[in-house]
């Protein structure tokens, strides 16, 4: 297909997608969504990182034990989803609590196309349920942030002024034994203009953690540039801290008083919450985001 034919077909599918009866035939809808995504890839070209591995990080927000348990639930959801896609997962770092939950957890997802598929899951996720952590089982709302960035193997040219980076050292909580944990081997790096920050403590030496942190930061900057449809250099000049993203959620998981999972970007929803959280119907949300059905 030439560019004109691609544009024509994209317009045809998008017209169908916004029709009131589009989701009446779910199978046909998913076929059209997949076709649209492929057409847009042909038109715009895929980001070169889409075919590679991804680093998935989940951070617990407001909600205390419930939020940290929600992070555990989301990690289980992605583990099951990745298993279905034949992706492997390797834990990079974790900060567990005493109830089986996590304050934060970071994993490497390996497999062809892992980043291109999972990057649409980045954002704030919201859980509403009866809390198992209080005697009255009151309804509790909690939040966790999911962050997906590409795994960077090698940085050929990192054109960031040294004055734009701030490095902070601390004692490692990662693997390596008591001697490693007594020394300041953990590294946190902050990109001052944007406020983006990452930490690395999984390596045995400060130098290795510094290199790892820079690769993670570069991945964050690439994801930010993609989201803003700007070049990497343009995106690095605009301040946008991660904290601002906590202001609005991209998806809600309601377990009480009714059951519903709704993606607020696309409007796609399902009452089969258990299947979503077990890694099943996650595909419908990702495919809608891939197709550009953002409201």
Q: What is the pLDDT of residues 54-105, one digit of tens each?
A: 999 999 998 899 999 999 999 999 999 999 999 999 998 889 999 999 999 9
Report pLDDT for 63: 86
**Is-cis flag, bond preceding 257, omega within 30?**
yes
The region of weakest confidence among 54-58, 127-131, 157-161, 193-197 is 157-161
Reading the block at residue 156, the tokens are 């050929």
What is the per-residue pLDDT for 243?
46
If you average pLDDT over every residue of the chain, what do you get?
85
Half-sphere exposure of 261 (CA within 13 A, CB side): 17
State the pLDDT at residue 284.
93
The secondary structure element, H or E, covering residue 95 is strand 88-96
User: Contact, 78 vs 279, CB < 8 A?
Assistant: yes
Question: 162-235 is classed in which CATH architecture?
Answer: 2-Layer Sandwich (3.30)
Domain boundaries, the chain: 3-44, 162-235
The CA distance from 248 to 264, in Å, is 9
Burial profile 217-235: b = 16 or more Cβ within 10 angstroms, e = fewer = bbbbbbbbbbeeeeeeeeb
Q: Which 8-state DSSP code applies to residue 163?
A: G
285, 264 Cβ separation under 8 angstroms: no
Q: What is the pTM of this model?
A: 0.74
Residue 112: count other Cβ atoms within 10 Å of its Cβ.
Answer: 12
- pLDDT of residue 245 exceeding 70, the answer is no
């Amino acid at each position: 297909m030439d560019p004109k034919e691609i544009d024509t077909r994209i317009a045809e599918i998008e017209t169908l997608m916004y029709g009131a009866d589009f989701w009446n035939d779910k199978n046909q809808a998913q076929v059209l969504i997949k076709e649209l995504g492929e057409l847009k890839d042909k038109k715009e070209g895929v980001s070169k990182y889409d075919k590679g591995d991804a680093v998935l990080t989940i951070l617990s927000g407001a909600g205390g034990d419930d939020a940290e348990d929600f992070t555990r639930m989301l990690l289980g959801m992605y583990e099951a989803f990745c298993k279905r896609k034949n992706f492997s997962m390797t834990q990079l770092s974790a900060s567990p609590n005493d109830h089986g939950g996590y304050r934060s957890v970071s994993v490497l997802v390996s497999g062809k196309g892992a980043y291109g598929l999972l990057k649409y899951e980045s954002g704030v996720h919201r859980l509403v349920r009866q809390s198992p952590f209080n005697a009255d089982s009151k309804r509790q709302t909690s939040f966790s942030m999911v962050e997906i960035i590409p795994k960077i193997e090698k940085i050929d040219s990192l054109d960031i002024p040294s004055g734009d980076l701030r490095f902070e050292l601390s004692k490692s909580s990662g693997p390596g034994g008591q001697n490693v944990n007594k020394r300041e081997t953990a590294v946190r790096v902050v990109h001052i203009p944007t406020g983006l920050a990452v930490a690395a403590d999984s390596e045995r030496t400060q130098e290795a953690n510094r290199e790892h942190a820079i690769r993670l930061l570069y991945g964050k900057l690439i994801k930010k540039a993609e989201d803003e449809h700007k070049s990497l250099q343009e995106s690095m000049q605009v301040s946008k801290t991660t904290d601002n993203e906590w202001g609005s959620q991209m998806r809600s998981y309601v377990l009480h008083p009714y059951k519903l999972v709704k993606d607020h970007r696309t409007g796609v929803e399902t009452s089969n919450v258990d299947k979503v959280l077990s890694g099943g119907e996650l595909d419908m949300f990702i495919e809608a985001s891939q197709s550009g059905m953002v409201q």
